[in-house]
Chain A
Amino acid sequence: TQLLEQSPQFLSIQEGENLTVYCNSSSVFSSLQWYRQEPGEGPVLLVTVVTGGEVKKLKRLTFQFGDARKDSSLHITAAQPGDTGLYLCAGLAWDKIIFGKGTRLHILP
């Protein structure tokens, strides 16, 4: 059974700080996606990474796919209260999509 482990589960930091959240698996995925979900809403796709070692930037967010395509990280620089939410990673295999449990991030003003 393929599993995606996300860490930490919860993170509460002050505005302006940097943070990194992780998504790890023992399985190889063809691609990996990161989503952000706000209360009462569905997840919204932030990025898809496909190639091992790939790095993508979205303003203050930097996403990296591990060389072996088993893990990924999301780094946020100078976090802002608007970054608060549930961050989910999802691994895509040939015919499956598997979500991690998410990291709940709270940025304190």
Chain B
Amino acid sequence: EAGVAQSPRYKIIEKRQSVAFWCNPISGHATLYWYQQILGQGPKLLIQFQNNGVVDDSQLPKDRFSAERLKGVDSTLKIQPAKLEDSAVYLCASSLVLLAGGWGAKNIQYFGAGTRLSVL
């Protein structure tokens, strides 16, 4: 079974530029998550989708970040314009069902390898 695919693996941009990340979840996974992991910290959830609808985007800085999941499969995360503090690894994850809710063995999220963003 193919895992969660993310691209690019690395991106270097200057502040105020725009950048986009792409994620292809595991086939059949209804739920998709974007996380930001700053060096030395744990992942911070930015947004979660259930199919093509947003479940939670309360921690997404909406003045500069946007995400979409058209057709309920692939997703893109965009930053426009980027700031120095956006330097981080952006992780995408997918799961069969929403994590909260106690679905037992289906309650697993699988992570991609991430995109490392450096903003200069």
Contact = CB atoms under 8 A, between A and B. Distances in A.
Interface of A: 4, 6, 30-31, 40-45, 48, 50, 88, 90, 92-102
Nearest to A88: B42
12 contacts: A30-B102, A31-B107, A41-B113, A41-B114, A42-B93, A43-B43, A88-B42, A88-B43, A94-B101, A95-B100, A96-B45, A96-B100
B114 A102 contact: no
Interface in B74-116: 91, 93, 98-102, 107-114
Given A31-B102, A94-B100, A101-B42, A42 B55 contact: no
Contacts of A88: 42-43
A44 B100 contact: no
B14 interface: no
Given A42-B4, A100-B42, A93 B100 contact: yes
Contacts of B111: 41-44
Interface string B11-52: 000000000000000000000000000001111110000000
Contacts of B91: 42-43
Given A44-B111, A48-B107, A97 B42 contact: no
